[in-house]
Chain A
Amino acid sequence: DQQVKQNSPSLSVQEGRISILNCDYTNSMFDYFLWYKKYPAEGPTFLISISSIKDKNEDGRFTVFLNKSAKHLSLHIVPSQPGDSAVYFCAASPTLFGGATNKLIFGTGTLLAVQP
């Protein structure tokens, strides 16, 4: 049962335009959401996060939006740059797990290609 879903395996965007990556989740106990970027042969790199008490968080070119009622979040990258080309993972952290563990549940990733 995939609790975090990224339904678009890939996305292609022109340099300078907006990239929008989407993520859906099913578990209402998730209260913290993160986006990671991953280049081939490297570990995931933390990009931006959002707590369930917020609906928007911004950091430079990256903005994450959270719609709790729809159990949906999105990552906006504006303007997109060729160096943004990578796999983007959405991850969610549940409030409680055993003795309070901040494990992450990941989606399957979206491959973003930014064309020059």
Chain B
Amino acid sequence: ETGVTQSPTHLIKTRGQQVTLRCSSQSGHNTVSWYQQALGQGPQFIFQYYREEENGRGNFPPRFSGLQFPNYSSELNVNALELDDSALYLCASSPGTGSGNTIYFGEGSWLTVV
């Protein structure tokens, strides 16, 4: 077990709705990243938060947004849900932003958009 916890584990939303996913990072880790994993694919980087600021973003539209709180926990918000947003959303934490820091993943939140 990595110590990275995510909630909820499963949820179903309707197209056009909004969703918030939550993540608590591993103790001592100040950097949180979010990834989207579609069926049959590897995880795709959405964005990273460090010290409550977005610190890098992948190729995802602005309707994907996030927050990091002073205790380093984080939220991923997705507005105007589309069917293609159905995926496993993974939160990952690391003790820093530098390359070479091992990144640990939570169990993920399964989102189904109908």
Contacts and interface: CB of A to CB of B under 8 A. Distances in A.
B99 A32 contact: yes
Contacts, number: 82
B70 interface: no
Interface residues of B, number: 33
Contacts of B2: 43, 45-46
Contact of A93 (B4, B55, B99): B99
A103 B56 contact: yes
Residue of B4, B42, B57 with most chain A CB atoms under a 10 A cut-off: B42
Interface stretch (A11-19, A67-75, A78-86, A105-113): A105-113
Is chain B's binding surface mostly helix, strand, loop or mixed?
A: loop
Chain A, interface residues (CB within 8 Å), range: 20 to 34
B94 interface: yes
Interface stretch (B61-69, B71-79, B103-111): B103-111
Interface of A: 4, 31-32, 34, 36, 41-46, 49, 51, 89, 91, 93-95, 97-109
